[in-house]
Amino acid sequence: MRVLALDGIDERGLNILREAGLEVTAQGKMNEEELKDAIRDYDALIVRSATRVTAAAINAAKRLKIIGRAGVGTDNIDVGAATERGIVVVNAPEGNTVAAAEHTMAMMLALARNIPQANAALKQGIWEKKKYVGVELRGKTLGIVGLGKIGREVARRARGMEMKVMAYDPYVDPEQAARLEVELASLEDLLKNADFVTVHLPLTKETKHLLGREELALLKPGARVLNVARGGIIDEEALYEALKSGHLAGAALDVFEEEPLKKSPLLELDNVIVTPHLGASTEEAQVAVAVEVAHDIVRCLRGEPVLNAVNIPVVRGHVAEVLRPYLQLAEKLGGFLAQLMESPIIAAEICYNGELAQYDLAPLTSSFLKGLLRPLLADAVNYVNAPLVAKKRGIRIREKKSREMEYFANLISVKVEGRRESHRLAGTVNQSGEPRVVNLDGYSVDASPSGHMLVVPHIDRPRIVGPVAMVIGDHKINIAGMQVGRQEIGGEAVMLISVDNEVPREALQAIRRVDGVLDVRYIHL
């Protein structure tokens, strides 16, 4: 079998492939046309971040079984196209954790002490001390947005430098945060109190521009921000304005909305430190991610289960045909509930009713947990590690089965609990093989869990549905479908609305102001 390795994969990873008897071709970056021509007769492909693995390239492959990403993020791979072809996509979520955490600390120290600026001035023959007076980290408050693997490593190092650490992460159990000596807070409270803010999240629709104008305005005057995660989490235009105005003292950026960065007004500012996406660029990290992904390539080509599958849970034989649509349903239910929750998740229960109960349903539970955890963790969680990630985050998981079923051949019912709230969701697969949500928090509905959706709890009375629809229309958003569920006349009810486009924050605020509306949540699946 043949493996195509691009973007400069470390030799120690390639040697693992060769020792397994695989034929390895190593080359540099390829564009789409080059990859389409090259990939036709390979069984496996490994890339870093330079080569984009497009749908066209994937569809040109005749024998491809697995794509490996030597790193965490898979945004340069069309995972959907790979999934449609039955091609496994794996990543290496562990290898660059320490490298990224250490780069964050290096950037923070450089930002605090004006090291790059002083270095550049001195090399130009300018000896100037007063201009580059900095601040100490000791006693300062660090706000970490995203307390995953990298965020936790940053927290440990910051505590070692006698900083106070706050974190915003809805998926972290308070007891785990306490063991790290980290104070959990809302995003608003974190921004209002932090001297330094660092983000450690994947880039998703939920996290894009998470720190925009409104959020940056909450920071205290003289605060400093860092992004060593993904470009786009911080709105670069808003950041420029906050730095230019003097509201923020400085920023350190390793990642950008467009890479490679060629032109940006941020480069004109003296209080901005930049590096060219070096977070994972250590000798040790490059070896670690190459070795990690190489082992999964070997496992896959030998027909063994892989450890870091991003897209496909391992189910074989006739069971795969039975479970396949329910794998998708379970993941959708998890993603739906994750976006309904406002408080950290502490427990999840998943119940399988009907003919499904006769099978080993661990893959379905993993799919549900992947969907539940993915909105904030993205590529750091996959079908294989989802149960372990949930356990590490202190989420209690309970699974129940029953072959008894009254109204459906099969039903998956899930419940998620937080410290201040809980939500229930139930779904099935119809005769056409399409996932359907049939119950939301006790209200009967019938909707496809896909695309853009609004959940609108409200009081069951006239002149509510119309005004809500008017608000949506006023924002030039088309309604694709609407379900209204209620339990009694005049009591609480829920609208489940499918729309064609993303719903902006202003529209959500306007819906909340409609008399009789109790809340609104935007769901994107």
Return the active site residues: 230, 259, 277
Give the separation between CA 433 and CA 220, rounded to whole angstroms: 52
Tokens, residue 241 = 């304005």
Sequence-ordered list of residues with C-beta below 8 angstroms from that of 441, at least 6 positions apart, any chain: 423, 424, 425, 457, 494
Tokens, residue 497 = 């609305």
Tokens, residue 171 = 């998926």
- Burial category of 469 from C-beta neighbours within 10 Å (exposed 0-12, middle 13-18, buried 19 and up): middle
Sequence-ordered list of residues with C-beta below 8 angstroms from that of 112, at least 6 positions apart, any chain: 134, 135, 136, 137, 196, 224
* Longest CA pairwise span in the chain (Å): 83
DSSP 516: T
DSSP 265: G
User: CB of 101 within 8 A of CB of 154?
Assistant: yes
Cis-peptide into 260, omega within 30 deg: yes
Sign for the pseudo-dihedral over CA of 285, 291, 295, 300? positive
Strand 422-429 and strand 435-440: the pairing is antiparallel
Tokens, residue 354 = 């009907």
Instruction: Measure CA 226 to chain center.
Output: 18
Give the separation between CA 107 and CA 112, rounded to whole angstroms: 8
DSSP states of 324-381: HHHHHHHHHHHHHHHHH--S-EEEEEEEEEEGGGGS--HHHHHHHHHHHHHHHHGGG-
Amino acid at 165: V
Give the separation between CA 166 and CA 176, rounded to whole angstroms: 13
Give the separation between CA 148 and CA 138, rounded to whole angstroms: 23
CA angle 359, 361, 364 (to 5 degrees): 140
What angle separates helix 283-301 from helix 97-113, to the nearest 10 degrees?
A: 160
CA distance from start to end of the chain: 37
DSSP states of 119-141: HHHHHTT---SGGG----STTPE
Sequence-ordered list of residues with C-beta below 8 angstroms from that of 197, at least 6 positions apart, any chain: 142, 143, 144, 145, 190, 191, 211, 219, 223, 224, 225, 226
